[in-house]
Amino acid sequence: MLRRTLLTTAALALGVLGAGMAQAQEKLKACFVYVGPIGDGGWTYQHHQGALAVQEKYGDKVEIQWQESVPEGADAERVLTQMALGGCKIIFTTSFGYMDATNAVAAKFPDVKFEHATGFKRDQPNVSTYNARFYEGRAVEGLIAGRMTKSNKIGYIGSFPIPEVVMGINAYYLNAKKVNPNVEVSVVWAFTWFDPAKEADAAKALIDQGVDVIASHTDSTAPLAEAAKTNGAVIGFGQASDMAEYTDGPRVTSIIDNWAPYYVERVGALLDGTYEQKDTWAGIAGGEVLIGDITEKVPAEVKAEAEKMRDDIAAGTFHPFTGPINKQDGSPWLAEGATAPDGDLLGMNFYVEGIKGDIPK
Amino acid sequence: MDFGSINPVILIASLMVAAVPIMLAAVGELVVEKSGVLNLGVEGMMVMGAICGFITAVETGSPFLGFLGGAAGGAGLSLVFALLTQVFLANQVATGLALTLFGLGLSALMGQGYNGIKPPLTPDVPFGPLAQIPALGPILFAHDWVVYFSVAVIAVTWWVLKATRLGLIIRAVGESHDAAHALGYKVNRIRLGCITFGGAMAGMGGAYVSLVRVPQWVDGITAGAGWIALAIVVFASWRPWRVLIGAYLFGGITVLQLNLQAAGSAIPVEYLSMSPYLITIIVLVIMSSGKGRAALNAPAVLGQNFHAAR
Amino acid sequence: MFILEKRPTPSRFWLYATPVVAVLLTMIAGGLLFALLGTNPFAVIKTIFWDPIFGEFAFYLRGQLLVKAGPLILIAIGLSLGFRAGIWNIGAEGQYIMGAIVGAGVGLAVYPTESRLIYPVMVIAGALGGWAWAMIPAILKTKFNTNEILVSLMLVYVAQTILAKASTGFLRNPEGAGFPGSRNFSSYKAASNPEFFAGSGLHWGGIAALVAAGLAYVLLQRHIVGFQIKLTGQAPRAAKFHGVSPNRLVMLCMGLSGALAGLAGLFEVTGPAGQISIDFNVGYGFTAIIVAFLGRLNPIGIVLAGFLMALTYVGGEMAATNMGLPAAAIQVFQGMLLFFLLGVDVLTNYRIRLLFRGTR
């Protein structure tokens, strides 16, 4: 039986090798480079959902290819070159660390479009960048945290001290303090994006310090699982993906990275010839950042308040960083009524006034 | 050092849980090394245990069966190592490293479709009022069964190695396989048994990560715990109770550094973050330079393959 | 049942035949795996082993094989010397990182000075960085008898933390708007390590790897130190009577392997990787241990093993992209290849004899 299958496969193989070249020319090849495995349940998983959405939307007109767990640096450059040589017409590089590789390869393949996530370099006309305003979601989390905390201690598990994370901490704290002036934030740096056991320990350390609302900026659900062990005393948020499996427990809402609208739009633009280089930083308004369902653990009026903030952000009537805001050392950053310029946010390397502790330098 | 508002009772209770995976894997590896075999594939066996345990627990609904499944998964992978090193006499260091690569890949393949699922809960052992005793209660009487099991494994391993005939044979094989062979012991079979035990313990340790510590499956969930377990065996200078101390010390420093951060300690984070490794090195230096001479306690034929000429 | 019988001398035939047999066995076992995963096993195996060397895009990929094999060979050569003498440096990954940080740090400190002297100084600094990191376990071993496996492994984690600090702190690109990562060396000519010819994949790292392999070969065959290394590995007591100082040998072997790992890190960070970033290290230090053993701790064998390893990476990536295979399947395939290579090797030194009931 096995042998017959093998023989059949062999026959098929010869057939495919012979004739396979002719087809597949018509389809547009959209390619994706991932920094982790699709099974990470967070960052890469969400990008892959976006890729699948592209396939579903355009069906026969596109073919998608992807490569998981591509290390940043030399390997990324090779994978990108292989993809470009292999006929990819648009390549999404989904990690900050691919920035230089993306621009270097783009210089060699002017006909291929490159889309780099979370970076800022567009050295070539065929490189576009895109990012999501996750801090908008952090602001909503902060509001809920400020309202929900009983101990007035809220926690944040950071990965690495980079602007993206610092921005998240500041947005979380500012909007918690707005509704609860007594609130204090404790930050624990895990120095890893992904180490479930360590993330659980970090959550536990925060809980042991009396923190009762935990936000995390690392990739796994471990902090939620740790919060679940407190029988409802501690709440947390889903990060990157909805983490809906914890809705009956500590997860009160979530920030969902939703790349599908952007991917569908860009591939669509390439298909119908309207593609242009651009720099996209969309948030709740663009549908790139979704706020997951707010569960019943949150009182109705807080839920309404959070949803209003979400809608105001989407409508552009509220900016999570609205002055007056001072830096941690007391020096002024934003004047009354001013909103943060994007440049300040993207390079943010300071805490706002009121947060204790130092950013590791 | 300012310990601020850190509660030592809670800290000790947390570190006992944090140490379970590395402790189980380390005591398993200790037995393997006592028999003269160096299996560097602990990380691979742990991650296989994590996925096999997770799948078993989810499919059967029983966390207990999950741990058995984890042990079976780790032991299964260790048999590949045993086949290569004991039958085909392959180099142990290289085979162990290849085992980790293989285990990480295979577990990720098996785990497709198991992302985002919550496994059944492993409850604490009900000690009733004992758990309410101040200080002692949370430390001694408020854990799941695996925490106690891991300590029991240490005790049994210590007893078997020290006081039984089986332990004597294992040590003899690890000290001089030629002499043990001359005495009529089946060197390779004894080593096969030890390797399987080591695999099973690593697998259980991995299952503890995916079923209790994190409860979920994600690729590469053990995130390097296997390497730490290897280090702890050497740190313990091949003595079971020191494995317990080593695992608690390492788990303790890891938990403590995160607690210090959460408590707002002024020590820069990056020094805290590397402290578990530095302190392990310092302790090791102290131990091996003193009277103990840790390195001298290493099994004499560690890492060498045995081939019976006759 | 069968028994193994030790050959009086290693078989020349099997010495060369075992790698071929192992690769063939891997193709069969791997083919079954790929078929189970619903892909065409013949196409996958062709993509992995054939396409990078002879396929449509070989003009590019051949160079990439060199890029990938270079650091593996350079590190493995250094490790193999210690391994032969029973000195276990498992922490090459840490020495690789430290070499990169120290070397890159020197270059970045004088930015944007242009001078021909800068790169050679960086190379020396990189080697010194790796050497110094390896000296920690070496000195602890010789002074306090501390186990070098453990210390060198622990220092990998410390090096990783320092790397995170370097890329978010002291080596961060001041013009990078606060993002992590150092300046990119490709835009700082005096300190960069570009390909000699575009697309060739050949840079100083590849040259260094081949030179190191050549020197190691000479050292082992002709030099007294090579003899001492081999003797210590085979008969430590005899080596002592022969006047070999074990401590000196530890310092020498650890130092050499550390320096070579540091060099590899420096060449990589100034060349293919381009910059110091939080995780620019991709495990070459660990993979090199496997390469050293696959090459039977022999310099020529290591060069070949390095290229074979590189082939499975480069070809495996192509297979994953083009056939939609999960990266994990490629990892399993690599694991199988290593298992077969290690297992079949037994035929070099042993003969298989079938054992019938009643015979011995």
Unique residue bearing structure tokens 């070989």: C58
Set of chain B residues whose Cβ sits within 8 Å of the Cβ of C294: 94
- Say how far residue C286 (Cα) sits from the centre of its chain: 7
- Say how far residue B198 (Cα) sits from the centre of its chain: 9
Binning pLDDT at 50, 70 and 90, where does residue C7 land? confident
Which residue from A50, A87, A76, A121 is spatially nearest to A266, judged by alpha carbons? A50
Set of chain A residues whose Cβ sits within 8 Å of the Cβ of C161: 191
Cβ–Cβ under 8 Å, residues C277 and C114: no
DSSP letter string, chain B: ---TT--HHHHHHHHHHHHHHHHHHHHHHHHHHHTT-----HHHHHHHHHHHHHHHHHHHS-HHHHHHHHHHHHHHHHHHHHIIIIIS---HHHHHHHHHHHHHHHHHHHTTT-TT-PPPP-PBP--GGGGGSTTHHHHHSSSBHHHHHHHHHHHHHHHHHHHSHHHHHHHHHHH-HHHHHHTT--HHHHHHHHHHHHHHHHHHHHHHIIIIIS-S--TTTTTTHHHHHHHHHHHTTT-HHHHHHHHHHHHHHHHHHHHHHHTT-SS-HHHHHHHHHHHHHHHHHHHHHSTT-GGGGS-TTTT-------
Check whether C274 has a pLDDT greater than 80: yes
Quick check: A191 and B111 CB within 8 A? no
In chain B, the residue whose alpha carbon lies closest to the alpha carbon of A224 is B214
Which residue from A126, A129, A225, A235 is spatially nearest to A176, judged by alpha carbons? A235
Q: Other C-beta atoms within 10 Å of C151: how many?
A: 26
C-alpha–C-alpha distance, residues B29 and B35, integer Å: 10
Q: Other C-beta atoms within 10 Å of A13: how many?
A: 18
C-alpha–C-alpha distance, residues C52 and C35, integer Å: 21
Set of chain A residues whose Cβ sits within 8 Å of the Cβ of C68: 74, 78
C-alpha–C-alpha distance, residues A277 and C56, integer Å: 30
Residues 225-244, chain A: which have Cβ within 8 Å of C? Answer: none
Domains of chain A in sequence order:
134-256+289-315 (3.40.50.2300)
Binning pLDDT at 50, 70 and 90, where does residue A133 land? very high
Give me A333's structure tokens. Answer: 């950053």
C-alpha–C-alpha distance, residues B110 and B106, integer Å: 6
Set of chain C residues whose Cβ sits within 8 Å of the Cβ of A161: 168
pLDDT of residue A305: 94
Binning pLDDT at 50, 70 and 90, where does residue A142 land? very high
pLDDT of residue B290: 61
Average pLDDT in chain B: 87
Best of C34, C157, C308 to substitute, by most chain B Cβ atoms within 10 angstroms, is: C157
Distance from CA of B195 to the nearest CA of C (A): 17
Distance from CA of A121 to the nearest CA of C (A): 10
Q: Is A66 on the interface with C (CB under 8 A)?
A: yes
Set of chain B residues whose Cβ sits within 8 Å of the Cβ of C158: 274, 277-278
Give me A246's structure tokens. Answer: 């914890």
For residue A255, which amino acid is it?
A: I
Check whether A284 has a pLDDT greater than 80: yes
Quick check: B89 and C350 CB within 8 A? yes
Give the residue-averaged pLDDT of C50-59. 86
For residue C98, which amino acid is it?
A: M
Structural domains counted in chain C: 1
Is residue C306 domain-resident? yes
C-alpha–C-alpha distance, residues A114 and A93, integer Å: 7
> Residues in chain B with pLDDT < 70?
1-5, 290-297, 309-310
Based on its alpha-carbon atoms, the radius of gyration of chain A, rounded to whole angstroms, reads: 22
Please, which residues bridge with residue C273 across strands? none
Q: Which residues of B touch A (CB under 8 A)?
A: 5-7, 10-11, 14, 18, 21, 108, 111-112, 115-118, 209, 213-225, 254-255, 258-259, 261-264, 268-270, 273
CB nearest to C178's CB, from A81, A160, A349: A349
pLDDT of residue A14: 40
Unique residue bearing structure tokens 């090791």: B284
Crossing angle of helices C246-270 and C284-294, rounded to 10°: 120
Binning pLDDT at 50, 70 and 90, where does residue A13 land? very low
For residue C223, which amino acid is it?
A: H
Is residue C340 domain-resident? no
Summarize pLDDT for C219-262 with one digit per residue, the tens. Answer: 888 888 888 888 888 777 888 888 788 888 999 999 999 999 99
Average pLDDT in chain C: 87
C-alpha–C-alpha distance, residues B16 and B154, integer Å: 14
Crossing angle of helices A134-148 and A163-179, rounded to 10°: 40
pLDDT of residue C177: 67
Check whether A2 has a pLDDT greater than 70: no
pLDDT of residue B122: 85
pLDDT of residue B4: 56
C-alpha–C-alpha distance, residues C291 and C75, integer Å: 9
pLDDT of residue A3: 38
Is residue C342 domain-resident? no
**Better-scored residue on pLDDT, A338 or C168:** A338
Is residue C310 domain-resident? yes
User: Exposed, middle or buried by CB within 10 Å (0-12, 13-18, 19+), for B131?
Assistant: middle
Strand duo A113-117 + A127-132: pairing: parallel
Is residue C26 domain-resident? no
Report long-range pairs for A339-347 (Cβ below 8 Å, ≥24 apart). Answer: A342/A281, A343/C177, A345/A135, A345/A163, A345/A167, A345/A321, A346/A120, A346/A163, A346/C177, A346/C178, A347/A163, A347/C177, A347/C178, A347/C179
SS3 A104: helix
**Better-scored residue on pLDDT, C5 or C288:** C288
Q: How much is the pTM?
A: 0.86
Check whether A300 has a pLDDT greater than 80: yes
Share of chain A above pLDDT 90, in %: 56
DSSP letter string, C159-193: HHHHHHHIIIIIT--TTSTT-SS---GGG-GGG--
Binning pLDDT at 50, 70 and 90, where does residue C111 land? confident
Q: Which residues of A touch B (CB under 8 A)?
A: 36-37, 39-41, 45, 155, 186-192, 194-202, 204-206, 208-211, 219-222, 225, 241, 243, 245-246, 356-358, 360
Which residue from A90, A43, A42 is spatially nearest to A66, judged by alpha carbons? A90
C-alpha–C-alpha distance, residues C225 and A1, integer Å: 59
State phi, psi for A184 to the nearest 5 degrees: -125, 145
pLDDT of residue B22: 94
Give the residue-averaged pLDDT of A330-336. 91
Summarize pLDDT for C306-324 with one digit per residue, the tens. Answer: 999 999 999 998 888 888 8
Binning pLDDT at 50, 70 and 90, where does residue A147 land? very high
**C228: containing domain:** 40-324
What's the number of CA atoms in the CB half-sphere (13 Å) around residue B102? Answer: 26
CB nearest to A191's CB, from C164, C186, C275: C164
Q: Other C-beta atoms within 10 Å of B166: how many?
A: 12
Binning pLDDT at 50, 70 and 90, where does residue C357 land? low
Check whether C296 has a pLDDT greater than 50: yes
Which residue from B164, B172, B163, B212 is spatially nearest to B190, judged by alpha carbons? B172
Q: Is B10 on the interface with C (CB under 8 A)?
A: no
C-alpha–C-alpha distance, residues B110 and B42, integer Å: 18
What's the number of CA atoms in the CB half-sphere (13 Å) around residue A295? Answer: 20
Summarize pLDDT for A230-262 with one digit per residue, the tens. Answer: 888 899 998 888 887 787 888 999 999 999 999
Q: Identify the CATH number of the domain in which residue C320 sits.
A: 1.10.3470
Residue C56 is given by DSSP the state T
Unique residue bearing structure tokens 């390195």: B295
Q: Other C-beta atoms within 10 Å of B4: how many?
A: 13
Cβ–Cβ under 8 Å, residues A319 and A340: yes
Set of chain A residues whose Cβ sits within 8 Å of the Cβ of B117: 245
- CA distances to A7, C235, C272 from C32, in Å: 12, 44, 35
Please, which residues bridge with residue C260 across strands? none
Set of chain A residues whose Cβ sits within 8 Å of the Cβ of B264: 186, 356-357
Which residue from A202, B102, A198 is spatially nearest to C335, judged by alpha carbons? B102
**Better-scored residue on pLDDT, A53 or C195:** A53
C-alpha–C-alpha distance, residues C293 and A224, integer Å: 43
Is residue C196 domain-resident? yes
Give the residue-averaged pLDDT of A264-279. 93
For residue B21, which amino acid is it?
A: P
Unique residue bearing structure tokens 């569908």: A264
Share of chain C above pLDDT 70, in %: 98
Check whether A317 has a pLDDT greater than 50: yes
Enumerate residues 6+ apart whose C-beta is below 8 A from B74: B45, B46, B48, B49, B52, B199, B200, B201, B202, B203, B204, B205, B206
CB nearest to C317's CB, from A6, A79, A348: A79
Query: Max alpha carbon distance in chain A (Å)?
Result: 78
Unique residue bearing structure tokens 């297992």: C343
Check whether A72 has a pLDDT greater than 90: no
Best of C36, C182, C317, C332 to substitute, by most chain A Cβ atoms within 10 angstroms, is: C317
Set of chain A residues whose Cβ sits within 8 Å of the Cβ of C322: 65, 86
Check whether A28 has a pLDDT greater than 90: yes
